[in-house]
Chains A and B, each alone.
Chain A
Amino acid sequence: MGDDTKSNTKLLDELEKGPWPSFVTEMKKAAETNPMAKDLLGQLELSYEERIGHWKHGGIVGVMGYGGGVIGRYSDVPEKFPNVAHFHTLRINHPSGWFYTSEALRKLCDIWERHGSGLTNMHGSTGDIIFLGTKTNELEPVFQELTQAGFDLGGSGSVLRTPSCCVGQARCEWACYDTMATCDSLTRAYQDEIHRPAFPYKFKIKCSGCANDCVAAIARADLSVIGTWKDDIQQDDAAVSEYAAAGLDIQKDVCDHCPTKCMQWDGKKLAINNRECVRCMHCINVMPKALKPGKEKGATLLIGAKAPIMQGALLSSVLIPFVPAAELLDTIKELVSRIWDFWSEYGNNRERVGELIQRIGMPAFLDAIGLDPVPEMVTAPRDNPYIFFQTKEDGQETK
């Protein structure tokens, strides 16, 4: 199509200017061989001209037996752009940590060029591989080819969304547990929950190996699994001195940024009060050769985050402050079964578990899932007035 496309997409052409990669350029490349991509450009240009979207979404399209993984999408101007009259999205369950062989990627792309627009998102915000745009009658064939290639659909709708994790111990020295094995085990264990919608709304599990939280679990996951350690930060004093000698201002760049001010630098020695450390990873990020997470590793389990587009973002709250790495998988499975039972029973339609907790209160939720409140659930002193501790002797409340 070449010049023909250019003359018909004056507004989109603006997005090809400048030094950055352009999605318009990529779509134009796809449009040279794929009529869906060509009509997609046309419809998008129309949307830019009219300042209105021309997509309808939802419906009953899917593959046999699955309730997730396909998101129906239709053009509301099919007479103008018949090749995108159906333009369904597929979510493909990504491998843990997003590791692929180049052969696997070629295979995926070949499948998609045969059955869809050839356009992809690597990756969607859920973590899945996103195949953008195919017709209803191509859904079963593309699913068959994907499964033959060892892939499966991911989650969409009121299901356990495809669990995701950071690269963990495969590429990161700070991972406090095996995020990839945890994510893979959860994905295999909960195939029913991923493919057969039975929840009030979506439920996301994201596994980060440390508090750097590279998959933003604390901001997005209904159940966040964030690696941490229980003992002291491992410290190499000679390496600390090397950082100082190389010009790092340890007082300014490390101690002053510590959220609990648990570190002191006297110009020669760095002293860490580990009892006050909240394992935020800042000092370790600044001096990776001198400081490392402790040896007693595991994870914190947190509940209730959501990241909506418009308003009402929630960060997750601590449920279990520390689970040793060896007990992590069993603990998660035991915990989610209690959470899902309660949420499925009492959650309203389209109510995330964090919203349920806001509605009924954390004490009622903890009671329902059989957990006792612990001090680590308190964000800051006198900040969470719902928890009252009692002395054993006289039962007197101490807030």
Chain B
Amino acid sequence: MAVPLETLVEEIYKMVVDLQGKKNVRAMSLTKAMIDKYGAGEVNKEDCKHAIRQLIDSGRCVYGYYGGESFITIPRKEEAASG
């Protein structure tokens, strides 16, 4: 892998933060964005899968869910919980 995992993790995290509140971004969209940015020879789907796994397992990102569809987002207090 030409792009170090740590770089990929930070790039994906930044993208999730930037899209926070604007768009529910799914794992494949993040993967495609990274491949577009660095090129298919530098980054592949497996690399992005590992980077996303690291973000989720560390708690920096969480999965969200609405209407049967899942997305990746930043942890926050659940707005819906407040009624």
Contacts and interface: CB of A to CB of B under 8 A. Distances in A.
A70 B65 CA distance: 9
Interface in A231-281: none
Given A60-B75, A349-B26, A157 B81 contact: no
A65 B65 contact: no
Contacts of B33: none
B interface secondary structure, majority: mixed
Contacts of A65: 56-57
Interface in A46-82: 56-62, 64-68, 70-72, 74-76, 78-79
B78 A136 contact: yes
Interface string A204-219: 0000000000000000
B81 A85 contact: yes
Contacts of B69: 157-158, 201, 349-350
Contacts of A349: 26, 69
B14 interface: no
Contacts of B59: 64
Interface stretch (A19-27, A100-108, A113-121, A192-200): A192-200
A197 B83 contact: no
How many B residues are at the interface, by size bracket? 20 to 34
A60 B68 contact: no
Overall SS of chain A's interface: loop
B43 to A, nearest CB: 15
Contacts of B73: 60
B76 to A, nearest CB: 7
Contacts of B80: 56, 58-59, 72, 74
Q: How large is the interface on A (under 10, 10 to 19, 20 to 34, 35 or more residues)?
A: 35 or more
Given A72-B65, A157-B63, A157-B65, A60 B78 contact: yes
Nearest to A73: B80
Contact of A350 (B62, B63, B68, B76): B68
A159 interface: yes
A237 B28 CA distance: 58
B68 A59 contact: no
Nearest to A347: B28
Contact of B78 (A59, A158, A159, A350): A59
B65 A156 contact: yes
A344 interface: yes
A71 B69 CA distance: 11
A202 interface: yes
Nearest to B48: A198
B64 A158 contact: no
Interface string B38-57: 00000000000100110011
Contacts of B28: 198-200, 344-345
Contacts of B83: 74-76, 78-79, 85
Which among B57, B62, B76 has the greatest number of chain A C-beta atoms within 10 A?
Answer: B62
A85 B56 CA distance: 27
B68 to A, nearest CB: 6
Given A74-B80, A78-B83, A349-B26, A58 B56 contact: no
B70 A60 contact: no
B78 to A, nearest CB: 5
A201 B67 CA distance: 10
Interface of B: 26-28, 49, 52-53, 56-57, 59, 62-71, 73, 75-76, 78-81, 83
25 contacts: A57-B67, A58-B80, A59-B64, A60-B64, A62-B62, A62-B65, A64-B59, A65-B56, A67-B56, A67-B70, A70-B65, A72-B65, A75-B83, A85-B83, A156-B65, A156-B68, A157-B68, A157-B70, A196-B27, A196-B63, A197-B63, A200-B26, A349-B26, A349-B69, A350-B69
Interface of A: 56-62, 64-68, 70-72, 74-76, 78-79, 85-86, 136, 156-159, 196-202, 344-345, 349-350
Q: Which 5 A-B pairs have the closest CB atoms?
A: A67-B63, A197-B70, A157-B70, A58-B66, A158-B70
